[in-house]
Amino acid sequence: MSLRHFIDGTEPGPAGVEAIARRALALSRGAPALRMSKRLISVFMNASLRTRLSLDAACHGLGIHHQSVTPGANAWALEMRDGAVMMDGDKAEHVADAVRVLGQYGHALAVRAFAGLQNRDEDRADPVISAFVKHAPGPVVNLESARYHPLQGLADAATWFDHLGQVQGQRIALVWAPHPRALPAAVPQQVLLTASLLGARITVAHPEGFDLDPEIVTRAQGLAAAGGGEVQVTTDRRAAIEGTQVIVAKSWSGFSGYGRREDEARQRETLGAWRVDQPDFALASPGAGFMHCLPLRRNVVATDAVVDGPSSWVVQTAGLRMHTAMALLEQLLGGDPWTA
């Protein structure tokens, strides 16, 4: 496996993602980790619990020195616009300068920068991760950008391999869930891409108006077709859940609704019935699992009974964030160690 950057999670290809997921499962069961004398610098533009701390724990397990900064809090706020005249405002440093400097301190850089949810074209261009890739001298790892959350995708994949044995041909329902606020679509888009890459039969269910980026849906359909799977999109929540082996819940803001936030907020108030509850698991396949990337608003997205119940895989997946990050870093910084 040859990896330069890890941006949308498809870079390793289906066999590579399966190898990383299975290696992560082995690490979670006590397999010895590679040790390497490397340095990683992560830049967090947004809050995080799992991503920041699982990355730190993964680096500790591999002997990697990890430093993390938050621009605007413990580092200078970054200007992202090319050609900006940085006369006023609070942005003291341009991303081009910061990334080229940090790239000398770390063997790899990692960055989290969510979608702004104001400008559809800007979010589609994924400006922060794109700037890092443009200016970094070494590998860049996406810790959740406007469009993708590939480390979450790896942990999802490891969970699927653990419970389902194989992912190809298995049924996964990606179901929109209620939430009081408009949220970015990076996580559901990543679920869709990762499941499609692995050849799952994935159904996306969402209310009218809460569509995902059609460019990503089309790409996922191509990946699924190549891998023996399929992608379906429906507004029929029940049909998506019936017979499925996995229910992945997530709230997201509609792609076609960019700029119509007030309409969407009013619509969301009427969609409480999309909350995941125990009767959903009577419709799903016996033994079906419940997944969510966390954090999760209990009894809004899903009931306590589901989150704490026997079908819930959420805590396991969050734990695997550490092992999948280790397995990825072994590949990214260790020189393809499993095939050497």
Kindly list the residues in this chain that would bind ligand CP in the complex (CB under 6 A): 48-51, 144, 152, 293-295
- Which of residues 221 and 251 has its CB atom nearest to ligand CP in the complex? 251
- Which of residues 49 and 226 has its CB atom nearest to ligand CP in the complex? 49
- Which of residues 144 and 211 has its CB atom nearest to ligand CP in the complex? 144
- Smallest gap from Cβ 50 to ligand CP, in A, equals 4
- Smallest gap from Cβ 140 to ligand CP, in A, equals 17
- Which of residues 18 and 144 has its CB atom nearest to ligand CP in the complex? 144
- Which of residues 144 and 330 has its CB atom nearest to ligand CP in the complex? 144
Of 142, 161, 227, 150, which is closest to residue 24 (Cα–Cα)? 161
- Smallest gap from Cβ 54 to ligand CP, in A, equals 8
- Smallest gap from Cβ 245 to ligand CP, in A, equals 21
- Smallest gap from Cβ 221 to ligand CP, in A, equals 25
Tokens of 13: 């290809």
- Smallest gap from Cβ 173 to ligand CP, in A, equals 19
- Which of residues 50 and 135 has its CB atom nearest to ligand CP in the complex? 50
